[in-house]
Structure 1
């Protein structure tokens, strides 16, 4: 049976917060009166998260465990969950409980009442975040809006509800390293917002230190806008104009017998032009790197295990077929055998994934 609601939760080393998450999420979803599934995406955790997920899966059949073979990153884990989710509505939620799951019923009600495809969770109180994080986030979102023209909410992260049409649209996108908090608004689907207070992390430590936030910012900018390329072009033209003016000034000064300013001005000009060149080369390098990764065609993630596939029957005329393999999930072909009637037979997997 296709569930009405899917909740996708990326997880990486969340053994401390996982019991608290299940304790709050399960009674909430049970009381909503809708069929649902919880897709927990284990992003290559190195602690007891996989074992705890399997234990909770035995006690809670609606909990579906999706394990990635290696750590692929937060956004890639969400993409893997979206590709696997089957619900008519899909909610993406972090495991740290900073975004309260109790807002999910309000999101679903808003989507149905207003007939919208996306409902964003917007933080109206971020007092639990540091001053630096609040200011840097506001500045960065304003910058993104100016550079790309998208209407991404400054206080909205990855806590959102999407319709099946939106999820299918996101899954059809070919790009890698996508940042969904900017990709989803760029689709332009009808949307609404639900406000909530951001809470402290319930347990464990943050998985987004400063360097990962910088990497996310770079991916966001280069993935949603070509404005940096235009800035590089403008900077190149401005530098060329100044160079021409300097040449003209030098020729006139020489013709009049004047001496040009010495070492200091020369070094300043050379350093300034060199700095502009380096910035432009760096921006171009970001885009070339993205094109290189796209041409390589390497998948963002590899699924090692899916509890839904394990529990589903493999035969019978009334069986519900399993979801199609997502575009980004590459499974090596082992070759095809044929029986005496010429029918194809799929080979047995060479290395079945451990249950961990």
Structure 2
């Protein structure tokens, strides 16, 4: 959900440009070092398709020179469209802004770090057209460039999601994918406040295919998914697509109740045999166990209640400060045309 654009619309009476065949959505946050390599690989590829396209670069509140570089690149690349958010709203929110504003018959989402090869866009588009697919997932067949910790946590994430959400979750498929216009229009209608697209899109049952590729090293800069954001993504994924944590709270409560019953039986037997020696160890352990279980259950309930509260508020997850599609494209730099000599004013000597 977003607020209405604050930038002025096109001039009244001016026809809206024809929708392109392909839109490429690129969320960006502090990607000044990766921007030039990205353009150098992406533009020749898209120009070679021979079809109308647009590149929707979503600046997610960058604090470096990314916005200035994007506007500079737009002067030489008229198909580049810059959508700037008012603040850093997060990767999924920036992706939402790009998907909601993309106009293409097919929409591809890709990160700016070039770990996902832009060249696979051609294969995705060909596969979608040939088999009439609504979704084509980019699946990482080789993650050798990632650290061992990253590979391990990613494998655990997809294993957990397939166990909790369902076997329909593609293995090793991130946010590099192609969507048809029909799929994008359905996503626009969903009331998701905190979407996790790598789970949301497969859950809708679109007819899909896969394109495999080895994951490359990041071309420049630092990862935008440190451990903290990876944990947040995992929590959002679990709570958005499964009630298993609530069932876990129920099972923990049942286990603690059974433990208390056993402690009661143990105490009665000890009392009957006159071996009730006062001690703090058993009481200390019991209090810690019960307190810990209660706090875990309250925390799990709080996660779900917090999401209900966010949904009831219906606040926009992002605010668009600027969309260059609402303004005329700047002229490309170059030598000014020489006016007609006859029209030049006379110069007296």
**TM-score greater than 0.5 by the shorter chain:** yes
Task: Select which of 60, 75, 89 maps to 1:72.
Answer: 89
Q: TM-score with structure 2 length normalisation?
A: 0.86
Alignment of 1:239-278 (within 5 A): 239-259=256-276, 262-278=279-295
1:351 corresponding residue in structure 2: none
Does residue 24 of the first structure (1) align with residue 41 of the second (2)? Answer: yes
Q: Give the number of equivalent residue pairs.
A: 312
Deviations 1:178-235 (A, max 9, x none): 1111111111211111001111111122111111111111111111211111111121
Change (3 A) 1:76 1:213: same
2:161 corresponding residue in structure 1: 144
Does residue 283 of the first structure (1) align with residue 300 of the second (2)? Answer: yes
Instruction: Using the TM superposition, give the Cα deviation of residue 260 of structure 1 relative to its aligned residue in structure 2, in angstroms.
Output: 6.4
Deviations 1:139-168 (A, max 9, x none): 121111111225222311110011112112
| Regions of 4+ moved over 6 Å | none
Alignment of 1:2-21 (within 5 A): 2-21=19-38
1:214 corresponding residue in structure 2: 231
Q: 3-state DSSP class of the match of 2:116?
A: coil
Task: Select which of 245, 248, 253 maps to 1:231.
Answer: 248
2:132 corresponding residue in structure 1: 115
Instruction: Using the TM superposition, give the Cα deviation of residue 272 of structure 1 relative to its aligned residue in structure 2, in angstroms.
Output: 1.7
- Segments of 5+ residues of structure 2 without an aligned counterpart are 1-17, 330-349
Does residue 134 of the first structure (1) align with residue 151 of the second (2)? Answer: yes
CA distance in 1, matches of 2:277, 2:229: 48
2:8 corresponding residue in structure 1: none
CA distance in 1, matches of 2:166, 2:227: 26
2:119 corresponding residue in structure 1: 102
1:58 corresponding residue in structure 2: 75
CA distance in 1, matches of 2:217, 2:295: 41
Instruction: Using the TM superposition, give the Cα deviation of residue 121 of structure 1 relative to its aligned residue in structure 2, in angstroms.
Output: 0.4
CA distance in 2, matches of 1:240, 1:150: 34
Q: Is 1:17–1:95's contact at 8 Å kept on the other side of the alignment?
A: yes
Q: Is 2:256–2:289's contact at 8 Å kept on the other side of the alignment?
A: no
CA distance in 1, matches of 2:65, 2:95: 20
CA distance in 2, matches of 1:262, 1:152: 52
Does residue 38 of the first structure (1) align with residue 48 of the second (2)? Answer: no
Instruction: Using the TM superposition, give the Cα deviation of residue 4 of structure 1 relative to its aligned residue in structure 2, in angstroms.
Output: 1.2
Q: 3-state DSSP class of the match of 1:96?
A: coil
Instruction: Using the TM superposition, give the Cα deviation of residue 252 of structure 1 relative to its aligned residue in structure 2, in angstroms.
Output: 4.1
Instruction: Using the TM superposition, give the Cα deviation of residue 77 of structure 1 relative to its aligned residue in structure 2, in angstroms.
Output: 0.1
Instruction: Using the TM superposition, give the Cα deviation of residue 238 of structure 1 relative to its aligned residue in structure 2, in angstroms.
Output: 2.3
> Which moves more between the two structures, 32-41 or 68-77?
32-41
CA distance in 2, matches of 1:247, 1:265: 11
1:182 corresponding residue in structure 2: 199
- Structure scoring higher RCO (CA < 8 A, sep ≥ 6) equals 2
Deviations 1:47-86 (A, max 9, x none): 1111111111121111111010111011100000000011
Q: TM-score with structure 1 length normalisation?
A: 0.84
Instruction: Using the TM superposition, give the Cα deviation of residue 311 of structure 1 relative to its aligned residue in structure 2, in angstroms.
Output: 2.4
Larger radius of gyration: 2
CA distance in 2, matches of 1:145, 1:234: 21
Instruction: Using the TM superposition, give the Cα deviation of residue 29 of structure 1 relative to its aligned residue in structure 2, in angstroms.
Output: 0.5
- Segments of 5+ residues of structure 1 without an aligned counterpart are 313-356
